[in-house]
Structure 1
Amino acid sequence: MDLKSLGRVLIFPVQMIYLIVKASVCSLFPSRRKELRKELVLITGGGRGIGRHLALEFAKQGAKKVILWGRTEKCLKDTAEEIRLSGTECHYFLCDVANREEVYKQAKVLREKVGDVTILVNNAAVVHGKSLMDSDDDALLKSQHINTMGQFWTTKAFLPRMLELRHGRVVCINSILSQSPIPGAMDYCTSKASSLAFMESLTLGLLDCPGVGCTTVLPFHTNTEMFQGMKVRFPQLFPPLNPEMVAQRTVEAVRTDKAYVYLPWTMHALVILKSFMPQVALEEIHRFSGTYTCMNTFKGRT
C-alpha cells in the first residue's frame, strides 16, 4: 500500500466520526427550507389516500403547479378542483403506472401541455392482501408492476430532464414493510423491498449530480382505505398514522433535502433490532405485537 492510500485509510475513521457528529448536531436545529414556488410537482396515485393529502400539502406549501396521475377520474377531478380553489394551478391525467406505454405517452403529453416536472412523487401502490397460495397470478403481477416497475418507468420518463436542468427530486412513498415484512401481504412487502433497493441505488447514483436528489419515506401503517381492516394487538401503542401528517413530513423532507424519513421515528428501532436479534426473538415480537395476524381482518382497497 502506497503512502497516499495509507493516509486515506487512516483519515477515513476521523471523517466518519466528524460526519456523524455533524449530522447529530444539525438534527438539533431547524433546517433551512427551500421554496416551492417554481416547482412542478407530479404525484402518482394522487386522487385519494396519501396521494391526495400530498397534493394538498404541496399546494399549501406554495408549489407552482400540481399534477395528478391516477386510474379513477372522479377522485382525480375532485382533488384537482379542491386544489384549484386554494389558488394553485392543478392538472390531472388518467394514467395507470402499471402500463409502461401509457406512462411514456402521458409523460410526453404532460410535458407538452404543462411543462417540465421538477418533483416526481411515486406514491401509487396496491396491496393484494392474500397468502401466496390464495393469490391470483395476474393480481400478483399487477401489484409488482404498480409498486415497483411503475416507479422505474416514471423515473426513466422524468429524471433525464431533471439532470439536464440540474434541478429536481425523485420522491418515493415506500413502507416500513419493505424492511420488516409481515404475512398476508407478501406481494406488497416484496415489491416495496424492491422499490427501496431502487431508491437506495438511485440516491447513491445521484451523489455527483448537482441539484438533483431523492427522498424515500417509510411510514408505518397509515389510516387510509388501502389497509382498511388491518389490526395490530395494541393499537394504543402502535396507532395508525394520520395521512395528513405523512404528507406534511414528506413535503418537509423535500424542502430540506432529506434522503430518508421513518414514520414514526420509533421505526428506526425496529430496523436496528433486526440487524442483531436472532430470528426466534423477532418472531416473538411479531406474535406479541399482533403483526403476525394483522392481515387476517384485511378488507382494504386492492
Structure 2
Amino acid sequence: MELYDTFSTIFDFLRMILMFHYELFYALYRLFVPVELKNLKGEIVLITGAGGGIGRQLTLEYVKQGCKVICVDIDEKNNALSVKQGNAITTASTIGYKCDITNRDEVLALAEKVKKDVGNVSVLINNAGIMPTRSILQHTHEVIQKVMDINLMSHFWTLEAFLPSMYEKKQGTVIALSSVLGIFGMPNTVPYSASKFAVRGYMEALLSEIIDYRPDAKIQCLTVCPSWVNTNLIHTVKMKFPKLFPALSPKYVANQIVQAHRRGQREITIPWFYAGILHMLRLFPYKCVEVLRQFVDGKVECDL
C-alpha cells in the first residue's frame, strides 16, 4: 500500500509539472496568437455606478456589442442620462434603476425586479466606488464605513442577488473594478486601497471556489485594476514624471474592460504593462521599493 501511495504521489507530481508547463507555454503562445473574441450579443449586463465615468462608458460599449444593459446608480439624474445615451445608440437597449447598493434588501429587491422586467443577468459589473483622499487619522469612522460599504460590501450583496442564476444556467461573467491601488498603496488612500486590495482577494477566492465546486459552470471572473482615470472619483495625482503616468480616459478604460471580457481574461491592469512592473516590484526588498517610490514621488493629494 505504501509503495502504491509513493508511485501515486510521483505520478501526480509529474502530471502537475507537465500541466504547469503546458499552461505556461500556452499562455506564451497566446501572447502572439490571441484567442478569438467572444460574441457578447444578447448578454444582459448589469452595471453599478452607471451614472458617470467608467460606468457610463461601459454602458455605451456594451450597447455597441449588442447587449441589453441595466444601469444601476443611486444618482437618478445622471443614471437617466446614461440610459438616454445608451438608447440613442440602440433603441430600447438600456434601462435604468435607482438603488442604494450598500443596502442588501434593496439589492435583493432590485434583482427580483430586473428578473421580471428584463430577465436573468448574465454579466455583473461591480463598478461603483468612492475615493476620499486624506491621511488615515483625518478620516471619520463614517467615511471609512461608507468606503467599505460601497467599494466592497456592495459586491457581496450583488453576488448574492445575481450569482445563483448564473450557477443555474451554468454560465455568466462577474467583473469587479479594483485599482492599481489594490496592488500597491499610496499616501492619503488607506481606506480606498484597503477596499481595492479586498476586491482582488475576494475575486481570486471566488474564482477558486467556482473551479473547485462548480467546474460545470462556465463563469468568467475578471478583476480590473486601472491606473489613474480622469473622472470625478480621483483627485490630483502628483508625481515627478507625469508624462510617464498619464490619466486615462473613462472611454479607453471601458473599451479595455470589454476587450478583456471578450478574451476571457481573469485579471488585467490598465495600462497592461503595469501588471509586470507592479508584480516584479514584489520580488525586491521593501526598502528598495520605497526608494523607487520616493524617486517617482507619487502621491494622491489630500481632498481637505
TM bracket, shorter-chain basis = over 0.9
Structure 1 CA distance, aligned partners of 2:284 and 2:303? Answer: 29
Do 2:61 and 2:254's aligned partners in 1 also have CA atoms closer than 8 Å?
Answer: yes
> 1:51-103 CA deviation, whole Å, 9 max, x = no partner?
1111110111221x100111111110111011101115111111121111211
- 1:193-272 matches, within 5 Å, as 193-207=197-211, 208-272=215-279
Of the candidates 66, 69, 93, which is equivalent to residue 66 of structure 1? 69
Unaligned runs of 5+ in 2: none
Amino acid at match of 1:296: E
> 1:159-184 CA deviation, whole Å, 9 max, x = no partner?
00011011210001110111101110
Are residue 161 (structure 1) and residue 165 (structure 2) matched?
Answer: yes
Do 1:223 and 1:242's aligned partners in 2 also have CA atoms closer than 8 Å?
Answer: yes
Unaligned runs of 5+ in 1: none
**Structure 1 residue 259, shift from structure 2 partner:** 0.8
**Structure 1 residue 37, shift from structure 2 partner:** 1.7
Do 1:231 and 1:297's aligned partners in 2 also have CA atoms closer than 8 Å?
Answer: no
Of the candidates 61, 75, 87, which is equivalent to residue 84 of structure 1? 87
Does 197-206 or 226-235 show the bigger shift? 226-235
**Structure 1 residue 49, shift from structure 2 partner:** 0.7
Amino acid at match of 1:122: N
Do 2:179 and 2:196's aligned partners in 1 also have CA atoms closer than 8 Å?
Answer: yes
1:30 is matched with 34
SS at match of 1:30: coil
> 1:190-218 CA deviation, whole Å, 9 max, x = no partner?
01111110000111212214321211111
Structure 2 CA distance, aligned partners of 1:256 and 1:133? Answer: 42
Amino acid at match of 2:248: L
SS at match of 2:136: coil
Structure 2 CA distance, aligned partners of 1:274 and 1:204? Answer: 25
Amino acid at match of 1:2: T
Of the candidates 253, 277, 282, which is equivalent to residue 275 of structure 1? 282
**Structure 1 residue 264, shift from structure 2 partner:** 1.0
1:5 is matched with 9
Of the candidates 176, 180, 191, which is equivalent to residue 176 of structure 1? 180
Are residue 118 (structure 1) and residue 125 (structure 2) matched?
Answer: no
Does 201-210 or 264-273 show the bigger shift? 264-273
1:295 is matched with 300
Does 97-106 or 140-149 show the bigger shift? 97-106
**Structure 1 residue 112, shift from structure 2 partner:** 1.4
**Structure 1 residue 297, shift from structure 2 partner:** 5.0
SS at match of 1:236: helix
SS at match of 2:282: helix
> 1:17-72 CA deviation, whole Å, 9 max, x = no partner?
12101111012113212222220000000110111111110111221x10011111
Q: Percent identity?
A: 31
Do 1:230 and 1:297's aligned partners in 2 also have CA atoms closer than 8 Å?
Answer: no
Amino acid at match of 1:71: I
Are residue 138 (structure 1) and residue 145 (structure 2) matched?
Answer: no
What stretches of structure 1 move > 3 A for 4+ residues in a row? none
Does 261-270 or 119-128 show the bigger shift? 261-270
Amino acid at match of 1:16: F
Does 268-277 or 145-154 show the bigger shift? 268-277
Q: How many residues align?
A: 296
Do 1:230 and 1:298's aligned partners in 2 also have CA atoms closer than 8 Å?
Answer: no
**CA 1:119–1:217: 2 relative to 1, 3 Å:** same
1:284 is matched with 291
